[in-house]
Amino acid sequence: MTRYMRRLADRDLALDRAMIPLGSCTMKLNATAEMLPISWPEFSEIHPFAPSDQAKGYKRLIDDLSDKLCKITGYDAISMQPNSGAQGEYAGLLAIRAYHLSRGDAQRTICLIPSSAHGTNPASAQMCGMEVVVVGVSPNGDVDVSDLKAKTEQYGDRLAAVMITYPSTHGVFEETVREICQIVHGHGGQVYLDGANLNALVGVARPGDIGSDVSHLNLHKTFCIPHGGGGPGMGPIGVKEHLIPFLPGHPETDGREFTVSAAPYGSASILPISWSYCLLMGGRGLTQATRIAILNANYIAKRLSTAYPILYSGRNGRVAHECIVDCRPLTKATGVSVDDIAKRLIDCGFHPPTMSWPVAGTLMIEPTESENKAEIDRFCDAMLAIREEARAIEDGRADRDNNCLKNAPHTVEDLIGPWERPYSREVACFPTGAFRVDKYWPPINRVDNAFGDRNLVCGCPPVDDYRL
């Protein structure tokens, strides 16, 4: 079993080997010291509905972590029930809905969401029975405030909420965020601030001070719970005082009927990770992490801007904790797509960044504070070398369809098997950034993404093979 798991781990390209610059996902170091305690039976073997006198330690931990998250966000209370960011959105919007109902405002069902929002935002609003109205985005990527104003006026007392993301999904600190909160409040609406990008705020600014009423925090992003492969996560919500009566609870524990998850504290067993992270870092450490995360992203944006346009930046030409690299001009000139760059990065020993989100044809890069300068430079060197490989196509020195970008990634089979490509095996397998001794070898060549997703092939051995 151990050998089987080791083999799978060797095929994987995880954070224990290289940076995972997935924009919007905040893939940061999950320190072993933070992870160990969740395997202790005291944390892992208790039932979610154990009598409260048997779960006093958990209560202390949850209360203390909630207290710390309130201080970090500027909110008055935290609900630890939601298991993901999306579930937090759902819980937060249900709280907003219940708040309006309690005031006799049953007609407030309109939810304004900018077109730049994460897909979970409109999905959650829809699930809460709200009607989604999309707000436009200006050419510079910011929420179009005049469109927002017009829509708040148009919908008036039917306005339930706005969902905004700060810093935005474009990786920029929008300067109109306070104004947006004021406009929406002026029409009796509530502000849901998507807190998935809190890694750019902790210790520096607080959603509660900006004017927001409720946010979810992705503990599996900002607060170190590992989330490669899809979970488990925690998406607690913070709320201002007036929304506290509408937080989810559980009939078994606090008599509240409104629940969003089967257990009163969601996936409580992974909370020790976030709690130890806060304790190990301390307040000053958390603030320093934010600063380094922003510095790292800006360093990458600056270095890459000589080869790729950075799609959005703020007034001072800076980004927040991530940046969107525009590959569309390159694609137009050379035929090299974001997929080709992503696959080539695998040859270089990197997990590719987020592709075509939130803008098609771009790459979204988020280094986080976990990466040191050497690793960030290795990544930038690889990206700049890829630009030069594309230039060879532009200049006619390389074939448009048969080149090291279109054929990436390259495997050991390519290294030792027959070879008739117009570039060397050295170029194929050891591009800039790739280690010679600790080289990451992808187990397979490129699989056509869309075709592979739509045409499942069962690779299991036939049942007959198991007959003794």
Ligand X SMILES: *Cc1c(COP(=O)(O)O)cnc(C)c1O
Binding positions for ligand X, rule: CB under 6 A: 24, 84-86, 118, 120, 165, 169, 194, 196, 218, 233, 235
Check: CB of residue 386 under 8 Å from CB of residue 345.
yes
| Nearer Cβ to ligand X (46/134) | 134
CB of 165 to ligand X, least distance (A): 5
| Nearer Cβ to ligand X (219/390) | 219
Which CA distances in Å does 36 have to 39, 222, 227, 334, 380?
6, 19, 16, 48, 33
* Residue 113, phi then psi, degrees to nearest 5: -140, 125
Query: Residue length, the chain?
Result: 468
CB of 120 to ligand X, least distance (A): 5
| Nearer Cβ to ligand X (196/310) | 196
Q: CA angle, 312 as apex, 310 and 316 as ends, to 5°?
A: 95
Distance between CA 353 and CA 345 in Å, rounded? 9
| Nearer Cβ to ligand X (84/296) | 84
Structure tokens at 94: 């249900």
| Nearer Cβ to ligand X (164/405) | 164
CB of 42 to ligand X, least distance (A): 27
| Nearer Cβ to ligand X (233/442) | 233
CB of 84 to ligand X, least distance (A): 4
| Nearer Cβ to ligand X (177/346) | 177
Check: CB of residue 308 under 8 Å from CB of residue 362.
no
CB of 244 to ligand X, least distance (A): 23
| Nearer Cβ to ligand X (224/434) | 224
CB of 238 to ligand X, least distance (A): 15
CB of 216 to ligand X, least distance (A): 7
Q: How many other C-beta atoms lie within 10 A of the C-beta of residue 205?
A: 18
CB of 44 to ligand X, least distance (A): 22
